[in-house]
Each structure stands twice: as C-alpha cells, then as structure tokens.
Chains A and B, each alone.
Chain A
Amino acid sequence: MKTDPAGVLTGAHYLDGDFACGEGAMAAGCRFVAGYPITPSTEVVERIARRFPTMGGTFIQMEDELASMAAVVGASWTGTKSMTVTSGPGFSLMMENIGLGAMMETPCVVVNVQRGGPSTGLPTMVGQADMMQARWGSHGDYEIIALSPQSPQEAFDLTIVAFNLSETYRVPVMFMMDECVGHMTEKVVIPPAERIEIVPRKLTDKPTSEYLPYATNGNNVPEFARAGDGYRFHTTGLTHDERGYPMMSADCQAKCVRRLVDKIRGNADKIVRFDEENTDGADVIVVAYGITARVARMGIDLARKRGAKVGVIRLVVVWPFPEKRIRELAPRVKAFVVPEINCGQIVLEVERCAAGQAAAVSVPHAGGGVHDPMDICNAILGAAK
C-alpha cells in the first residue's frame, strides 16, 4: 500500500541522520512516539514533536524510558504505528518492555543512536557496542530484527523498512544508528508519497466469535485485532496459549517461545539484507555496518593499492545475521576482517558462521571516534598473508 502523503516531506533536503530517521518514521505512517531526552538521539523526537501535530500524530515526552517503551507497546495495540528513540542508557531501561513487546508480538520500532558505553560512557561520542544488547538485551528467548544505516539517506529509507518489517512479523525492530550517522548532515531525497510502499497494520477479518489472538495462519505470525473493535481479547507477558490466556506448562512454553523464535529464524532469508562487492576472487572480506562501513572503504582502498584482493559485506540488516552467505563465502577466502566500534561483537557471529574455514579478525575500537583507516588496511594486509 502507498503511504499517507500527510507524513511525507517530498523533496531534496540537507538533513542529519536523526532528522532523516524522524522523517522516515513519519513517511512510514508512524503516528505515535513516546520518548525521553537522551544524547545523541534527541533530535529524532524534536523533529517529530514539531511535525506530528500537522499530520494527526501524537508525541509525548514520558517520565523515563521504561514508560516510553511501555507506552509504545500500548499505543501499537490500538493499530497506531509506534516508535521510541533513545541511546545506550535508555536502551537498557527499555529492555523490560521490549521483552513485553516481543512476547505480546507487538509491531513497533526502537531507535538507538549509539554512543560510547558502558554506563553513562561518552554521551556525545560514537559507539557501536549495543549490537549484542539489541539482540539479547531482554531476558528469556526471543528474536528481534535489527538494522544499521550508514548515512542520513539510509536513516530515512531504512526507517521505513524497519516499520514494514515490524508490521510483517509483529516484532519490535531495533534501528541501530550510531552517533556519527545521527549527527552527520548530507543530502536526503524524500520521494513522493505514491512511491513509498508501506506495510499497513493488517487487522483480522475473522468474526469476534472465532478470533483467537495467538492462533497462527501458517507462517507463524498471528492475526492482529486492535483494542476497541469488539474482539475483547486478552494478551499477557506470561507464557500463553492461542487464546492469549496464561498457561504455566513446559508444553505451552515450547509452543509459545519456539514460535517467537521460529517466525524470525524461519523467515531469515526474506529479512536478511546486505550489500556485497568484489567477493569473487577475494582473499579477504571486510564485514562492517553503520559508520564503520564507510570508514572501512578508505582502509579497503589503501589495502587494494598495496595489492590485496578485498571484498565487502556491508550489513544492512544485522539481526537476523546473514549466516548462510558467510557460510558460503568462508571456504573461498582466507579471512573475514570485522572492524566495529566495540571490543568485538559481530566478529563473534562471523567467526561462528565461518566455522574454522576462514579466520575472523577483529578490528576493535573502544568508541569515542572512528577507526584509523590504516588500522583496517593493516588488518586486511595481515589477514591476506
């Protein structure tokens, strides 16, 4: 379906990644945002707070991030597309209700403009160290989807993709920006509304007497009914059966939790997105995401000038991980080189998928800045030997 033109600021703009993300959300049909101020993400909600009243959207600044995430899950149950925005410390507080969102199968988007951590860390400076938290941050077993934009243009485009994925799979989607992309200003082209495809909230057409909130329809994603339409459904954070009723048994736990996991893992081929370049005949493949994917380009150019044969996998969707492609490429290369602004997170996943058939070389950076391209070049040259 085409999006609502009210939220689309068609034209060529000069925007930072935070503003572009906000514009992407509005273009995707987001009409409820709850948030709490935190650097370096606040500009996203500032943009939305200014524009929402002209398009039927409601922004509320909540008392904390626990409340913001709870409100987002609640609002989504009215059929209103909903989002919250934060950075590391707030992301930690949101984990409780991200788990609730996953358990209740609530479409929503959580933007994390990553800064240096742990704890208060480096509020105004870049980090990419919340990538594992995005996947595992709330307790228990569940799967989410996470994307990582490398530019303001992608902050716009991929925010729309994030909403579409959250609607398709009824799952909280983590939009993992970083401070560099968030505060970087570049040209952002916003197409006309009729060229923006969105996945609308699909409501069940079952009669109220036949509707079961967690009965599946073949692809593991249950049909949605919103509050106020007469379905009088129940949903809970407890382990539940198809009726949404609590059911404390290992059997029900297996059905309930396995489906939360399988609906993402089983559709990974449809969800996974990455850019791939020059991997044919490469000795080394650089795997990178977000701002580091752009910094790595310089390191790759330097290494190529020194004779290295280097390919690139740039992760667009980080979770689920492009496991299949890494497994295919592993026997053909000497090594994967993984620069990231953390002490080694995604490299663990690369190493697991490479399964000993190629080396996985971490190029860590503790945060507060981006890599020196020469460090990436040297890692490539070392791995190519």
Chain B
Amino acid sequence: MSKVEDGTERGNIPVREHPIGPFLRMDRMPHIWCPTCGIGIVVKCYATALQEAEVDPDKVTIVSGIGCTGRVAGYMKLDSFHTTHGRAIPFATGVKLGRPELLVTVFSGDGDLSGIGGNHLIHAARRNMDLLVILVNNFIYGMTGGQNAPTTPEGARTSTMPYGNFEPPFNLPHLVASCGATYVARWTCLHVRQLTKSIKEAIHRKGFRFIEVIAPCSTLYARLNKIGTGFDLMQFYHDSAEVRHDADTRDVAIRFQDAIICGNFVDEEKPTFLELMTNHYKKVLGDRYVPMPAEGGMIRGQD
C-alpha cells in the first residue's frame, strides 16, 4: 500500500494538494481511523466550512476528548488540544473564557461527550457557553473495542451487551435543546454538503451550538450487528435518512436500523454566557467593571 509522505506525491504520480491540506497535519498521515470510518468525512466538512466561512485559522482552537473522534484534534493544523476522557467541554470553556476572541470547537465522540462527559454537556448547554460542539455518533465505543454507549439503540449488540442492548439511549438533539442550546442540527456522513453548510452556519452563530453527525463504524458496530460494511451503512443512510428541518426534537430519537431524522432543528438567538456575564456586570458595577480583554487575561509587563 502506498503511503502519503508529504501530501503532494503518491509514488511517481503527481497529485494536486488536498483541498483541505492547509488544515491538516500532513506529517501525521496516515491517520489511525479504519477504512470506511465516517470520522474523516466529518473532518473534511469541518475544514471546508472553516475555509468557506473565511475565519482566521490562527484564531480557531479545537479541543477533543478521548476515543476515535478524540483523535481529530491531533490531525487538525490548528491550536489543538487532546485532553482527558469526557473533559473536552470544560477544557474548551477555560480556553474560551481565558481568551474570548477565539472560535473554540469541541470535536469528540458520543461516548466521550454524552457518556463520561454528559454532565459537562448539559451544563455547557444550560449556560449557553460560546462553543461549537461537533459530536460524531457511531453508537458504540470504538477505540476500546465495541462496548455499549449511551447512544447505542435498543436491541443493538455491543461487546458488553452481547445479548443486545436493553438500555434506552439518549436522544441527543432533544437533550441539548432542552438544556438551552441555541443551534442544534443532525446529519449523517452521507450528507456532506448539508453538514458543511450546517457547520458554516454554526460558525457564524453564537452560544452553545451542537451538531450531531451519525457515522458508520464498520469494524465494530456494523460487524457486531451484522449490518454489512461502511458502504452498506452509507446506503442505509441514503435509504432511511429523512430531512425534517425544525422538527420537534422530541420526535428525533433513533431506533435500531430505523429512520434517521436529520436537519437543522433549533436556530435561535439568545444571549451567550459571555454576553450575560458582561451585560450583568456592566449593569451592576457600572464603571467599576473591567471585562477580560478579548485577547486574554495575560498580565503584561508593569516595569
């Protein structure tokens, strides 16, 4: 198998630079993801959205937790943090509050963000913290070998539910919407254009923005459930995804191998954590209030 050494050549055949090459750490390729894994597609959509949104990449920070999707931060040529399991959101909260001018993205998996990190997810949504959260949902713990997740549909097999999962899963769009998220969308890895557009839209919104992306895990989820390969799952998304913008999030729960409701479910404007804090202190303290500078709270030389 040929190996991409520098991103510009594959053997002797000259190729053009990858369109999102400038956003990737090409010196870290090849990546660790399995063939037909969906995470790479989401990375491509995110990078394309950054490009099209024309944001300054120097002012974009990406924070991941642990797991397959947790590796995204390590492949993006941005200020990137690969943190502890479940703690990407509070870590990102610190980055955002420490330097408010940054666009801070949390990019992680369903187990990381809604399992071990579930408490942080709901509280960041409640505060309307200024974060863009991209959650890749493959219904399973991939990195550790296919264990049950809080998103595993009832009836699906996992390595720790060998007789089928009997726990009800989270309906994530409904969870974060009911906690106060201002932008909530769901797409599958097949909806490349819609997902890119959604991320781009979310970049220009403020507050807690949440995009769930349904992604194939052919190595574990598909194999354990005998539902084919990554390609078969993409075909399944094609056949069973239904775009229903503004759907009531109570109606978008996912059942095993059943319809996947996609679309932009929530898009509303309300004050973010930083706006609430700043406005409140201005009102209460008047001239005594000194907000943290946009470029951060680093103390400069006083000599």
A: residues with CB less than 8 A from B are 1-6, 29, 31-32, 34, 53-58, 60, 62-64, 66-68, 70-82, 96-97, 99-100, 104, 193-194, 198, 200-201, 226-238, 243, 245-246
Contacts and interface: CB of A to CB of B under 8 A. Distances in A.
Contacts of A235: 80-82
Contacts of B303: 1-2
Contacts of B7: none
Contacts of A231: 79
A74 B82 contact: no
B223 interface: no
Contacts of B123: 62-63, 67
Contacts of A233: 79-80
Given A71-B93, A75-B98, A238-B82, 5 more contacts: A56-B290, A60-B97, A63-B90, A74-B98, A232-B58
B42 interface: no
The number of chain B residues touching the other chain, given as a range, is: 35 or more
A32 B80 contact: no
Interface of B, secondary structure class, is: mixed
B296 A2 contact: no
A74 B92 CA distance: 6
Interface of B: 25, 27-28, 57-59, 61, 63, 73-74, 77-84, 86-87, 89-95, 97-99, 101-102, 119-120, 123, 277, 281, 285, 288-293, 295-303
A227 B79 contact: yes
B87 A66 contact: yes
A96 B289 CA distance: 35
A73 B94 CA distance: 7
Contacts of A64: 119
B59 A228 contact: yes
B30 to A, nearest CB: 14
A6 B90 contact: no
A56 B292 contact: yes
A138 B245 CA distance: 46
Q: Lowest 9 CB-CB distances: which A-B pairs, in order?
A: A74-B94, A31-B297, A78-B98, A75-B98, A71-B94, A67-B90, A75-B94, A79-B298, A80-B297
A57 B90 CA distance: 18
Contacts of A55: 290
Contacts of A232: 57-58, 77-80
20 contacts: A4-B299, A29-B299, A54-B289, A57-B297, A60-B97, A63-B119, A63-B123, A66-B90, A66-B120, A67-B93, A67-B119, A68-B90, A70-B84, A104-B81, A227-B95, A228-B101, A229-B58, A235-B81, A235-B82, A237-B84
A385 to B, nearest CB: 52
Contacts of A228: 58-59, 61, 79, 99, 101-102, 295-296
